[in-house]
């Protein structure tokens, strides 16, 4: 298998209410990168949120007493803490200034995905897209590519540093289940479900960078069976989660 | 940036005490894949362990009462549980038949990296290489490539499915620290340290598969400053770990 991973270098800065699919199509055409069913397109959450207007204005947020108290203790903006709490359905850890929550969609991440980078106004923050699977489905239909991943950069317990994961999926089963298949010696693989969508997101992340890379990355050479797919399959159920 | 990720298809099955670097060099030569300083080579832990003889014989293991009790409760092989405990310095979770430990090297993973797949004898299990950074350094020196990652497939809290991570690193700083750099609008990125070695490992994992792919993957087109590097940098210190 030979994969090719390339960022779209000519994508313009995405603004609120831009037609993101049109911008991607135009950049791909300029760069002579055909978008067909063999191509998987990874799109950074940040530009999906911007194009969809998933942007909160901190000036309009009235922090609760709880948000104000935590913000004061850790030197944070209380409006930002309030926004994070509003985006969350459960707090997983709240310690040493770090706020890890389960978002309304069930994703567990720092700050519920609320982010002030690359937005250009200190009173604005992007929030996660309302339905990243739906965002991915719409982009896939508009682009005519094989699959779309909406990716975000998450921290992990136990390991330093952030990696990209898939928070929205269309056109691909995000898990590849090898249980029941055999290894080279015929031994049944008992617990091997690979999170291919997260591996693809991480691979795309290498070409995304954070301040310099491109937020849209094309992956060629990956073969997968066409499936509708949903990033919800990547979220552990409470029953199998030992780290709630 | 354009990355190319390709498995070495002609690598033979690795056996105990094989000269792994020679096998990789020969396969790369056969496949006309030059190994130079622009190339990053990802090698699956399994074949590193095999070549280094990091293989335990379960027939020689005398399970403790603790191992026997847990094994009986969850229908496991008590010798395997004993081996996992011997490879561990701390148990992180031990619940519902799942054993997540901190290995002697500080890695947190299921079963301390003990694995019975792809070994061909039900009484044998591979354990993690004694010093995966050193394994990576030796391979890098012998191959003449830019960097080597020893990768393993780990589960994650909160998210379903396994992804590959780097447990040994040579020739690359595994973390890319963007703190202090600015976003496109000049806003300082405050908490952005990217685990590039884990992103590279995940990308390589796409070409590794588990039963069909190749355990050695070449990555071209990635640019990085040459550093000695160590996978220890990827392990969270207790002070910053909220999920011990």
Chains A–B, number of C-beta pairs less than 8 Å apart: 234
Question: Residue A118's pLDDT band (boundaries 50, 70, 90)?
Answer: confident
Whole-angstrom Cα distance, residue B167 to residue B177? 19
B117 φ/ψ sector (left φ>0, alpha ψ -120 to 50, else beta)? beta
**Among A28-32, A207-211, B52-56, whose mean pLDDT is lowest?**
A207-211
Helical segments of B146-186, H only: none
Task: Pick A163's closest partner by Cβ from B202, B233, B235.
Answer: B202
Report the SS3 class of residue A6. strand
Across the interface, whether the CB atoms of A196 and B175 are under 8 A apart is answered no
Q: What is the CATH number of domain B4-53+129-238?
A: 3.30.1330.100
B192 touches chain A (CB under 8 A): yes
Residues 6+ positions from A9 with CB-CB distance below 8 Å? A27, A31, A214
What b/e string do you get for A119-140 counting C-beta neighbours within 10 Å, with b at 16 or more? beeeeebbbbbeebbebbbbbb
Which three-class secondary structure string do you get for B93-126? EEECCEEEEEECCCCEEEHHHCECCCCCCCCEEE
A19 touches chain B (CB under 8 A): no
Estimate to the nearest angstrom the gap between the alpha carbon of B125 and the chain centroid. 16
**Among A66-70, A210-214, B59-63, B163-167, whose mean pLDDT is lowest?**
A210-214
Report the SS3 class of residue A227. coil
Tell me whether residue B122 is exposed, middle or buried, using C-beta atoms within 10 angstroms of its C-beta: 0 to 12, 13 to 18, 19 or more. exposed
B159 touches chain A (CB under 8 A): yes
Name residues 64-83 of chain A within 8 A of B (Cβ). Answer: none
Domain residue spans in chain A? 4-53+129-240, 56-125
Fold type of domain A4-53+129-240: 60s Ribosomal Protein L30; Chain: A; (3.30.1330)
A223 touches chain B (CB under 8 A): no
Nearest C-alpha of chain A: how many angstroms from B41? 14
Across the interface, whether the CB atoms of B163 and A199 are under 8 A apart is answered yes
Across the interface, whether the CB atoms of A159 and B181 are under 8 A apart is answered no
pTM confidence score: 0.95
Across the interface, whether the CB atoms of B161 and A181 are under 8 A apart is answered no
B37 φ/ψ sector (left φ>0, alpha ψ -120 to 50, else beta)? alpha
Task: Pick B195's closest partner by Cβ from A160, A182, A193.
Answer: A160
In this chain, the answer to whether the domains covering A4-53+129-240 and A56-125 adopt an identical fold is no
Q: Is-contact A31 A49, C-beta < 8 A?
A: no
Q: What is the CATH number of domain B56-125?
A: 3.90.1660.10
Quick one: which H or E segment has residue A176? strand A176-177
pLDDT in tens, chain B (244 residues): 899 999 999 999 999 999 999 999 999 999 999 999 999 999 999 999 999 999 999 999 999 999 999 999 999 999 999 999 999 999 999 999 999 999 999 999 999 999 988 788 899 999 999 999 999 999 999 999 999 999 999 999 999 999 999 999 999 999 998 776 766 666 666 668 999 999 999 999 999 975 567 999 999 999 999 999 999 999 999 888 888 8
Q: Which residues does residue A101 pair with via DSSP β-bridges, in sequence order?
A: A91, A109
Short-list A218, A227, A168, A204, CA closest to A25: A218
Q: Spell out which residues of chain B touch residue A180, defining contact as CB-CB under 8 Å.
A: none
A205 touches chain B (CB under 8 A): yes
A142 touches chain B (CB under 8 A): no
Across the interface, whether the CB atoms of A1 and B206 are under 8 A apart is answered yes
Question: Residue A233's pLDDT band (boundaries 50, 70, 90)?
Answer: very high
What's the pLDDT score for residue B59?
97
Tell me: the pLDDT tens digits for A130-177? 999 999 999 999 999 999 999 999 999 999 999 999 999 999 999 998
Pairing outcome for strands B40-44 and B216-220: antiparallel
Q: Spell out which residues of chain B touch residue A213, defining contact as CB-CB under 8 Å.
A: 1
Q: Spell out which residues of chain A touch residue B95, defining contact as CB-CB under 8 Å.
A: 242
> Sheet containing A108-110: which strands, arranged edge to edge?
A88-95, A98-103, A108-110
Estimate to the nearest angstrom the gap between the alpha carbon of B121 and the chain centroid. 22
- Interface mutation target, options A206, A211, A213, A214, chain B, most CBs of B under 10 Å: A206
Provide the ipTM: 0.95
Helical segments of chain A, H only: 20-30, 45-52, 65-74, 78-86, 132-143, 196-208
Across the interface, whether the CB atoms of B5 and A2 are under 8 A apart is answered yes
Average pLDDT rounded to a whole number, residues A26-37: 97
């Amino acid at each position: 298998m030979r994969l090719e991973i390339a960022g779209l270098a000519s994508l313009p800065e995405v603004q609120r209410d831009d037609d993101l699919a049109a911008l991607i199509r135009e950049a791909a055409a300029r760069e002579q990168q055909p978008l067909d069913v063999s191509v998987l397109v990874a799109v950074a959450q940040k530009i999906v949120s911007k194009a969809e207007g998933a942007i909160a204005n901190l000036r309009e947020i009235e922090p609760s007493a709880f948000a104000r108290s935590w913000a004061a203790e850790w030197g944070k903006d209380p409006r930002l803490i309030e926004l994070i709490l509003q985006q969350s359905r459960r707090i997983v850890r709240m310690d040493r200034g770090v706020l890890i929550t389960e978002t309304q969609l069930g994703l567990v991440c720092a700050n519920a995905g609320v982010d002030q980078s690359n937005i250009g106004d200190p009173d604005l923050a992007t929030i996660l897209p309302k339905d990243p699977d739906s965002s991915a489905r719409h982009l896939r239909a508009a682009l005519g590519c094989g699959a779309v991943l909406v990716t975000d950069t998450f921290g992990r317990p136990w390991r330093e540093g952030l990696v990209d994961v898939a928070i929205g999926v269309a056109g691909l089963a995000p898990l590849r289940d090898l249980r029941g298949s055999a290894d080279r010696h015929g031994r049944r693989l008992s617990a091997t479900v690979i999170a291919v969508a997260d591996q693809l997101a991480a691979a795309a992340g290498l070409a995304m960078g954070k301040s310099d890379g491109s937020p849209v990355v094309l992956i060629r050479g990956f073969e997968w069976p066409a499936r509708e797919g949903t990033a919800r399959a990547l979220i552990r159920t409470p029953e199998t989660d030992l780290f709630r």
